[in-house]
Amino acid sequence: MDQSAKKFDSSRATEYESQSRIALAGYEACHELAACILAAALGTGGTRRILVVGVGGTAQEVVAVSRLEPTWRFIGVDPSEPMLALAGDRLKAQGLNDRAELHLGTLDTFIGGETFDAAMMLGVLHHLPGDDAKSGILEAIADRIAPNAPLILAGNRYAYASKPLLLAAWGERWRMHGATSEEVKAKLGKILQGADPPHSQEAVFELLDGAGFERAESFFSSLFWGAWIAWRKPQ
């Protein structure tokens, strides 16, 4: 995630809250469903500990899950200092900062021997260049969660150029929200900068399988975006 963190500097972090909701049609719905799927998978109540990878920005994963499960706790990791600061502000504003620990860095630099009950990683995988980096972060998550524990994963899939209609519709969504043609071109350029999504849902499933996960299942889709639950293979 180190290279991807460079994209999320202070200027991009400032606009992330509003821009992410335009870029992903159904932003709130995806996070709400992610929380519902996780609660259904783990069972309600108890003192679950959830690892959130790429928590920076809105910390929406923590906010959404907390609405259902007020006794669960969270460890959030993100390599972008400006984005992590935004997450901290959001959690404080929501009265959740005492239930979430935030760590600057990657899973490779995060020191802690605990095993988590589940993990969430939304909007990260398509920023990592190449399958090796994608496999690496999924394997690092698998090493941090218990056998049979669930992972909630979401991000773009499909090579952008392979879906010209979806790409054009993505631009139209920005125009629907007031962007000019030149602004649409600039926004799409920023989104596509350095992005390398898996080329299909099947490719996502193959990455998950190779990293130690099984029973992957889709629960949300929006243009290029998809969301899945998968389970850590028994050891």
The residue type of 117 is D
Handedness of CA 128, 133, 135, 139 (dihedral sign): negative
The mean pLDDT value for 74-92 works out to 94
For 5-64, the DSSP string reads: HTTS-HHHHHHHHHHHHHHSTTHHHHHHHHHHHHHHHH-SSS--EEEEET-TTT-HHHHH
Q: pLDDT > 90: what percent of the chain?
A: 82
Q: What is the pLDDT of residue 5?
A: 53
Q: What is the pLDDT of residue 208?
A: 98
The mean pLDDT value for 193-222 works out to 96
- Closest residue by Cα to residue 110 from 154, 156, 143: 143
pLDDT tens digits for range 21-59: 898 999 999 999 999 999 999 999 999 999 999 999 899
Q: pLDDT > 70: what percent of the chain?
A: 93
Q: How far apart are CA 86 and CA 10, in angstroms?
A: 10
Cβ pair 23, 191 in contact under 8 A:
yes
Length of the chain equals 235
Q: How far apart are CA 205 and CA 196, in angstroms?
A: 16
What the block records as the tokens of 79 is 């390599």
Question: Is the pLDDT confidence value at 1 over 50?
Answer: no
